[in-house]
């Protein structure tokens, strides 16, 4: 269980690796964990970070001594911060349970400091308040940057100069976007590394914290039956699908500058692809896993314009209700050609995956909300039951589906005889439905990732060479789309997306699942 990994039992070693250890450090000294949420007044902090911290506290995963600070420009007292976050704390573990006492205990450890993001003076004040609460223990300081990217470097500069831990460790969690192309991402990395070592930077991709994404490696490497099939010899194509049934809803200021390819494909879907396709790592050690992911990413062909379809949602009336177009959003320019949908065919030029299309599809304002990996297997050679499938043999192939969300599941589509005297075949599922098998609620991705950052476990965070390889696949295409001002194909809000996605799939002999 999580409690076994409690950071309280963390060996001294992880403090040493950030290189900030002082000679006075002794194993006997007590340490304390100080977490500062920078941008505490924002949406992500309220919706995800504070609730995840509370869930960790509730599950006894936080050390005995810890404090949480909110930092932002908004003026708030400690009490006002507590009021604000108390509204989004939930007893996730057992909804029937009244965990009021636990909440109160947690809230009493939360404080707030108001300041500017680029002010060393304000960060020195924060440092002073942190020290007061740390009560002379050795501080382990974690900063969570839940702020727009243009102020990342300012905050890192001020935090590292004025509020880093003198004798424990200092780590910084950074939220995407990590730049908007190869150059800006490299520039961001270069600037962050003026103040931090790579070991101190935890680049978050919250999809890596999702239960079924974590499970991908377990499925592949701890079952005999999957790994032998995991190659071009048996797999016809792989599909990575992300869809949301709502639009941009006021986030246009951010979204219009990035678009769906940068928002979802270059990070969330590509990370899943890398885990799916990597060679077996030497061990489960973070560097071994990330080495294999980088290898896959570097074996991928940069995406070409012929292998992508872009779309944007338009207004649509349904059941007496009008669903607005992307460009109707007040935060979006009227003439925007930013894609809210994209479908792409990607290829990995290595021995395992030569010629296998990896199809990605990501879109906002579609007919459903889901995230899935679909693996379509090849035809059975000389299939004895060919006649039973008529002309459409594609329908008879096996398909493995890993449904990341909602309603987590892993199922394998197989052919089966319908019981009875005749010989009728049926498509059926071997189905592992999580909520039927595991009644306990699944932790939110942010809980796992925060705990990992506290423990210094880097496996689920993005290393800078990985990030660079990921941008390498998309940057030439993104430039071309923008230089040629390629207009997206419009699709109605709530539809299945542009038909172009079907032509793209057909070109590679694929039918979307």
Closest CB 268 distance from ligand BG6, rounded Å: 6
Return the number of the residue (380 or 442) whose C-beta is nearest ligand BG6.
Answer: 442
Return the number of the residue (146 or 398) whose C-beta is nearest ligand NDP.
Answer: 146
Strand, coil or helix: 493: coil
Return the number of the residue (204 or 373) whose C-beta is nearest ligand NDP.
Answer: 204
Which does residue 263 touch among ligand BG6, ligand NDP, none (CB within 5 to 8 A, set by kind)?
ligand BG6
- CA torsion through residues 429, 434, 438, 439, sign: negative
Instruction: Confirm if 39 and 147 have CB atoms less than 8 A apart.
Output: yes
Position closest to ligand NDP via CB: 42
Closest CB 178 distance from ligand BG6, rounded Å: 12
Which does residue 73 touch among ligand NDP, ligand BG6, none (CB within 5 to 8 A, set by kind)?
ligand NDP
Closest CB 276 distance from ligand BG6, rounded Å: 18
Q: What are phi and psi of 439, to 5 degrees?
A: -65, -20
Footprint on this chain of ligand BG6 (rule: CB under 6 A): 206, 244, 263
CA 394 to chain centre: 32
Return the number of the residue (7 or 443) whose C-beta is nearest ligand NDP.
Answer: 443
Return the number of the residue (32 or 405) whose C-beta is nearest ligand NDP.
Answer: 405
Which does residue 500 touch among ligand NDP, ligand BG6, none (CB within 5 to 8 A, set by kind)?
none
Which does residue 157 touch among ligand BG6, ligand NDP, none (CB within 5 to 8 A, set by kind)?
none
Footprint on this chain of ligand NDP (rule: CB under 6 A): 39, 41-45, 72-74, 117, 146-149, 151, 175-177, 254
Which does residue 43 touch among ligand BG6, ligand NDP, none (CB within 5 to 8 A, set by kind)?
ligand NDP
Active site residue 206: no
Which does residue 247 touch among ligand NDP, ligand BG6, none (CB within 5 to 8 A, set by kind)?
none
Provide the angle, in degrees to the nearest 10, between the axes of the packed helices 270-277 and 286-298: 100
Instruction: Confirm if 71 and 40 have CB atoms less than 8 A apart.
Output: yes
The whole-angstrom separation of Cα 41 and Cα 39 is 5
Strand, coil or helix: 344: strand
Burial of 397: CB neighbours in 10 Å, binned 0-12, 13-18, 19+: middle
Return the number of the residue (147 or 297) whose C-beta is nearest ligand NDP.
Answer: 147
Closest CB 118 distance from ligand NDP, rounded Å: 9
User: What separation in angstroms does the CA of 276 have from each of 240, 280, 402, 414?
Assistant: 10, 10, 11, 21
Q: Which residue has the tokens 């944007």?
A: 312
At 188, list the tokens.
Answer: 């961001």
Closest CB 212 distance from ligand BG6, rounded Å: 12
Residues in contact with 313: Cβ distance below 8 Å, sequence separation at least 6, in sequence order: 247, 325, 326, 340, 341, 363, 364, 365, 490, 491, 492, 493
* Strands 66-72 and 31-38, sheet pairing: parallel
The single residue of 65, 113, 206, 268 carrying the catalytic annotation is: 268
Return the number of the residue (250 or 333) whose C-beta is nearest ligand NDP.
Answer: 250
Position closest to ligand BG6 via CB: 263
Burial of 21: CB neighbours in 10 Å, binned 0-12, 13-18, 19+: middle
Closest CB 49 distance from ligand NDP, rounded Å: 9
Which does residue 44 touch among ligand BG6, ligand NDP, none (CB within 5 to 8 A, set by kind)?
ligand NDP
Closest CB 148 distance from ligand NDP, rounded Å: 5
Catalytic residues: 268
């Amino acid at each position: 269980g999580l409690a076994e990994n409690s950071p309280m039992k963390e060996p001294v070693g992880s403090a040493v690796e950030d290189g900030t250890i002082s000679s006075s450090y002794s194993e006997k000294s007590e340490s304390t964990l100080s977490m500062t949420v920078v941008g505490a007044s924002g949406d992500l902090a309220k919706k995800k970070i504070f609730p995840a911290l509370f869930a960790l506290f509730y599950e006894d995963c936080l050390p005995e001594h810890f404090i949480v600070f909110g930092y932002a420009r908004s003026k708030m007292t400690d009490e006002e911060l507590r009021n604000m976050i108390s509204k989004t704390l939930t007893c996730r573990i057992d909804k029937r349970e009244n965990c009021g006492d636990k909440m109160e205990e947690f809230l009493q450890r939360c404080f707030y400091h108001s300041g500017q993001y680029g002010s060393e003076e304000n960060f020195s004040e924060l440092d002073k308040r942190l020290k007061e609460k740390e009560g002379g223990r050795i501080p382990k300081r974690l900063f969570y940057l839940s702020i727009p990217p243009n102020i990342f470097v300012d905050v890192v500069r001020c935090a590292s100069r004025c509020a880093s831990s003198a004798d424990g460790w200092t780590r910084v969690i950074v939220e995407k976007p990590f730049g908007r192309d190869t150059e800006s991402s490299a520039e961001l990395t270069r600037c962050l590394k003026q103040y931090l070592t790579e070991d101190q930077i935890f680049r978050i991709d919250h999809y890596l914290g999702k239960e079924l994404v974590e499970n991908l490696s377990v499925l592949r490497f701890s079952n005999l039956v999957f790994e032998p099939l995991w190659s071009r010899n048996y797999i016809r194509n792989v599909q990575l699908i992300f869809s949301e049934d709502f639009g941009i809803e006021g986030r246009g200021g951010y979204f219009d500058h990035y678009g769906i390819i940068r928002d979802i494909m270059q990070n969330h879907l590509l990370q899943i692809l890398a885990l799916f396709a990597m060679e077996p790592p030497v061990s489960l050690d973070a560097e071994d896993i990330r080495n294999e992911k980088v290898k896959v990413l570097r074996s991928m062909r940069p995406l070409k314009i012929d292998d992508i379809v872009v779309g944007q949602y338009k207004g649509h009336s349904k059941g007496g209700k009008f669903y607005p177009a992307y460009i109707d959003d007040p935060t979006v320019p009227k003439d925007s050609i930013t894609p809210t949908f994209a479908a792409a065919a990607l290829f990995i030029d290595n021995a395992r995956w030569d010629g296998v299309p990896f199809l990605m599809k990501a879109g906002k304002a579609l007919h459903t909300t889901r995230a899935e990996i679909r693996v379509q297997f090849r035809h059975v050679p000389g299939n004895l039951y060919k006649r039973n499938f008529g002309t459409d043999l594609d329908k008879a192939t096996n398909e493995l589906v890993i449904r990341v969300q909602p309603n987590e599941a892993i199922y394998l589509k197989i052919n089966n005889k319908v019981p009875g005297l005749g010989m009728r075949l049926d498509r059926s599922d071997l189905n592992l439905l999580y909520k039927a098998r595991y009644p306990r609620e699944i932790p939110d991705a942010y809980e796992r990732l925060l705990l990992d950052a506290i423990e210094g476990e880097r496996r689920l965070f993005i290393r800078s060479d990985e990030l660079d390889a990921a941008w390498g696949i998309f940057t030439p295409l993104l430039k071309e789309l923008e230089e040629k001002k390629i207009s997206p194909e419009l699709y109605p809000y709530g539809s299945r997306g542009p038909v172009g996605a079907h032509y793209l799939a057909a070109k590679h002999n694929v039918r979307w699942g």
